[in-house]
Amino acid sequence: MSDNPLAELARCLPDLRLLTEPGDLEHYGRDWTRRWTPAPLAIALPASVDEVLAVVRWANRRQVAIVPSGGRTGLSGGAVAARGELVLALERMNRVLDFDAVDRTLTVQAGITLQAVHEAARGHGLAYPVDFAARGSCSIGGNIATNAGGIRVIRYGNTREWVAALKVVAGNGELLELNRALIKNSSGYDLRQLMIGSEGTLGIVVEATLKLADPPRPSQVMLLALPDMDALMQVFALFRARLALQAFEFFTDRALQNVLAHGAQRPFDGDHPYYVVTEFDAVDEPARDAALAAFGHALEQGWVSDGVIAQSEAQAAALWRLREGITESLAPRRPYKNDVSVRVSLVPAFLHEMQALLAREYPHAEVVWFGHIGDGNLHINVLRPDELSEEAFIAQCEHVTRLLAETLQRHGGSISAEHGIGLVKRSYLDSTRSAAEIALMRGVRRVFDPNGILNPGKLFVRD
C-alpha cells in the first residue's frame, strides 16, 4: 500500500479527473454559506458509477472522508470541505439517461442541474415541478440529498414526492438500486425515502428516476401589498379557498429594498410593510374573474392595500424576481440564515412570537425575512452590523438561534424546513428531533457507512 492515499487513488483510477490546484480547492470546498475556509485534500470528478464506486471503496480502505458535492448552492454548509476531505463532485455525471412515456419518468445522472431536468421534461410535454431560484446551478443529487422544497411546494410537495427510484453508492461501497420506479412496493423499509434528505451521510446518489407531472395549467401572477402581519394568513386562507394556488410566497419591505438595490424594478409607488407573490391557475375567464373577486374582497376587508396582476410573461417574471432575487441580493453580505417551519395553522401565533424575539435580540442588526408562508416555512436572514466582528456576530446569532429553537419547540416546529442541517444547524438538531430519534439516526448511519467516511461532521455534532 502506497503511503500517499491520493497517489494510490490516481494510480488505481488513471482516468479519474483529480484536481489539487489551490483555486480548485477553494472553488469546490465551499457552498453558498461562505463561512468556513475551504481546505479539501483534493477534488475528484468521476464520470461513471464505476468510478464513484471505486473512489468510495478506496476511501474506506484509506479512511479518507468524502464530501459529496453537487452545485454547492446549499445554504447550511453540507457541501463544505474544510477538514482535508476529498470532494466528490458529480458535475460530469450530468446526462439524461432515459425517458419513459408510459411510466412518465425521467432517469438522470445525479450531477444534472435542476434547470436541465425542467428542460428535458418540457421537451417531452411534461413537467418536473420542484422549482426554486438556484435551478441553474443546483443539482438533482443535491436536491435529493436535502429534500429540497422551493416555490411550488404548496401545489406539488417537496423533492421527496417526485423520486421514483434511486441508484446510490452507499458509504460501505455497495451499489444499491432503490425502489426500481415502482408505484406500489410494500416490501419492507423504503430505503429510497431514507436516502432523500440524508445530506450525503448515508450514500452518494448517482442516478435518479424522477416522476413527471402534467405541464402546469395557464396561470396568473399577482403581487399584493399587505398592511400588517395579521393580514397575511387571512389573505392566504381566502386565496386558498377560492383559487387553485401554484405558489404563495411572502417577503417584507426590507427584503424588497434589498432586491430593488440589486436592480429589480419597484412594483408600486409607496411603501408597504409586507408583500405576497402568488401564482394561481387562470385557465379561463371565470377563473380570472374569481381572482379579481378575491383581490377585491381582500381590499374591502383591509387585508390588502395595493396589488398588481401581471399582464405578460415579462411582467410575471419581473414580479417573481422581487421574491426570487432576495437570496442573491443578500449574498454579498453573507447573512446568517435560519430556515424554520411550523404547521400552517400555527403560523400566526409563531410569527408574533418570532417577531418579538427578533426585535428584542437583534436591536442593531438588519433582519430580512421572507419565505414559503403557505407551507409554514420562514427564512430569517440576519445581516452583520459593521461594528460587530464576524466572530461576535456568529456568537450572537447562535444565541438567538437557540432561543428560536425553544420557540419552535413550543410550536412543534422544525429548525430546518428545507435547507438541511449541514454544519450550520447541527447544534440545534436536538430541538427538532428527540434523543431517541437521533440515536436511531446515528445507528442508521453506521449501518450504511460503518467507517464514517461520508460527510463526517455534518448533520450530527458527533459522528
Q: Given the rule CB under 6 A, which residues bind ligand FAD? A: 31-32, 67-75, 78-79, 90, 110, 132-134, 138-139, 141-143, 145-146, 148-150, 199-200, 204-205, 327-328, 418-419, 422, 455, 458
Residue 120 interacts with which of ligand FAD, ligand MLT, none, CB < 5 to 8 Å by class: none
CB of 422 to ligand FAD, least distance (A): 6
Q: Name residue, grid cell 489539487.
A: 20
Minimum CB distance to ligand MLT smaller for 92 or for 334: 334
What is the rounded distance in angstroms from the CA atom of residue 309 to the CA atom of residue 221? 6
Long-range CB contacts (within 8 A, 24+) of 401-406:
401/338, 401/425, 401/428, 402/428, 403/357, 403/361, 404/338, 404/340, 404/354, 404/357, 404/380, 405/431, 405/432, 406/431
Pairing of strands 96-100, 366-372: unpaired
| CB-nearer residue toward ligand MLT: 159 or 327 | 327
- Give me 230's grid cell: 395579521
At a CB cut-off of 8 Å and minimum separation 6, what does 172 contact? 60, 448, 449, 450, 451
Cβ neighbours of 82 (radius 10 Å): 17
Closest separation in Å from C-beta 45 to ligand MLT: 27
What is the closest distance, in whole angstroms, from the C-beta atom of residue 373 to ligand MLT in the complex?
A: 11
Distance in angstroms (rounded) separating the CA atoms of residues 77 and 302 = 42
Name the residue with the smallest CB distance to ligand MLT: 327
Pick what 78 binds: ligand FAD, ligand MLT, none; C-beta below 5 to 8 Å, kind-dependent: ligand FAD
Q: Whose grid coordinates read 412570537?
A: 353
Residue 145 interacts, among ligand MLT, ligand FAD, none and using kind-specific CB cut-offs from 5 to 8 Å, with: ligand FAD
> Dihedral (C-alpha) 32, 35, 38, 40: value to the nearest 10 degrees?
-80
Q: Which helix (H) or strand (E) holds 216?
A: none
Smallest distance from ligand MLT to CB 419, Å: 6
199 interface partner picked from ligand FAD, ligand MLT, none, CB below 5 to 8 A per type: ligand FAD
Q: Which is nearer to ligand FAD, 172 or 305 (CB)?
A: 172
* Min dist. Cβ of residue 7 to ligand FAD (A): 25
Q: Which letter does DSSP use for residue 227 in this model?
A: S
**Shortest CB 336 distance to ligand FAD, Å:** 15
Identify which of residues 152 and 272 has a Cβ nearer to ligand MLT in the complex. 152
Residue 68 binds which one of ligand FAD, ligand MLT, none, with CB within 5 to 8 A depending on kind? Answer: ligand FAD
Q: Which does 165 bind (CB under 5 to 8 A by kind): ligand MLT, ligand FAD, none?
A: none
- Using alpha carbons, select from 49, 152, 135, 77 the residue that is nearest to residue 419: 77
Name the residue with the smallest CB distance to ligand FAD.
Answer: 142
Taking the complex as a whole, the smallest distance from the CB of residue 367 to ligand MLT amounts, in Å, to 13
All residues at 6 or more sequence positions from 403 whose CB lies less than 8 Å from its CB, including other chains:
357, 361
Residues forming contacts to ligand MLT in the complex (CB under 6 A) are 75, 133, 326-327, 339, 379
Closer residue to ligand FAD, CB minimum distance, 305 or 416:
416
Task: Rank residues 234 and 451 by Cβ distance to ligand FAD and give the closer one.
Answer: 451
CA angle 398, 276, 412 (to 5 degrees): 45
Residue 137 CB, shortest distance to ligand FAD, in Å, is 7
Please report the DSSP string for 382-438 in residue order.
EEPPTTS-HHHHHHHHHHHHHHHHHHHHHTT-BSBSSS--TTTTGGGHHHHS-HHHH
Locate 342 and state its grid cell. Answer: 411550523
Nearer to ligand MLT by C-beta: 51 or 339? 339
* CA separation, residue 308 to residues 133, 253, 259 (Å): 22, 16, 18
CB of 73 to ligand MLT, least distance (A): 9
Q: How far is the CB of 353 from ligand FAD (least distance, A)?
A: 24
Residue with smaller CB distance to ligand FAD, 73 or 105: 73
Q: Which is nearer to ligand FAD, 341 or 431 (CB)?
A: 341
Query: 3-class DSSP state for residue 240?
Result: helix
Q: Using the minimum distance from each CB to ligand MLT, give the nearer residue, 56 or 326.
A: 326
Q: Of 135 and 379, which CB lies nearer to ligand MLT in the complex structure?
A: 379
379 binds, among ligand FAD, ligand MLT, none (CB under 5 to 8 A by kind): ligand MLT
From the list ligand FAD, ligand MLT, none, partner contacted by residue 106 (C-beta under 5 to 8 A by kind): none
CB of 201 to ligand FAD, least distance (A): 8
CA gap 347, 233 in Å, rounded: 8
Residue 275 interacts, among ligand FAD, ligand MLT, none and using kind-specific CB cut-offs from 5 to 8 Å, with none
Q: Per-residue DSSP letters for 12-59?
A: H-TTSEEE--HHHHHHHT--TT--SPP--SEEEE--SHHHHHHHHHHH
- Could you give the dihedral angle defined by the CA atoms of residues 410, 445, 70 and 180, in that order, rounded to the nearest 10 degrees? -100
Q: Which does 70 bind (CB under 5 to 8 A by kind): ligand MLT, ligand FAD, none?
A: ligand FAD
